Amino acid sequence: MSHPEYSSHEGLARNPTPTKPFLAPLDSDTKRYRVTDHMPGLPKGLGLPSTVSFECEITNVENGIDWIVKAPMGLVQNTTWRIVKRADVQGTKEQVNELVEDGGEWALVEDVRIEANRLLVGTVRSKCEANWRGIQRKFVEHVKGMQSAGL
């Protein structure tokens, strides 16, 4: 799955311990990557190039995926995508991306936690808010494709 700023990625060896205390211990199935994004909207004056590389850790969890991003300047973003019964979801329809159209039984819920300095939090939050619909749409399409293939 890609997003508008995505440039490339490479696989990395497993990291045996998390770097932040609020992160759960890494599962043996955790996959690590170095991702490079084009980020032309970064705040000016930080001395950062418009191309940024960061590490991410992706772990399958019981009902979804946990995605941890560790980027320059101490940014840590933890995103969890969960597939849950729609009846169990709290929030507006805009906050819930249905897996089955027309009021289906299942929903994709995204929870995001951002840990960063004040200069970056606003930029990261606005990128999350601008991109979540497209990213969730691709996630749902992938799940539906797996379901159609009988996986």
The whole-number pLDDT of residue 68 equals: 92
Looking at residue 131, its amino acid is: N
Report the SS3 class of residue 66: strand
Which one, of 127, 139, 135, lies nearest residue 38 by Cα?
A: 127
What phi and psi values does residue 14 have, to the nearest 5 degrees? -65, 140
**Residues 22-66: pLDDT tens digits?**
445 545 678 889 888 877 666 666 666 678 888 988 888 888 889
pLDDT lower than 70: segments of the chain: 1-9, 11, 14-28, 40-49, 90-104, 151
Look up tokens 């609020």; give the residue: 22
Q: How many CB atoms are closer than 10 A to CB 38?
A: 13
Domain residue extents for the chain: 6-148
- Look at the chain and count its residues: 151
Q: What is the pTM of this model?
A: 0.68
Looking at residue 78, its pLDDT comes to 92
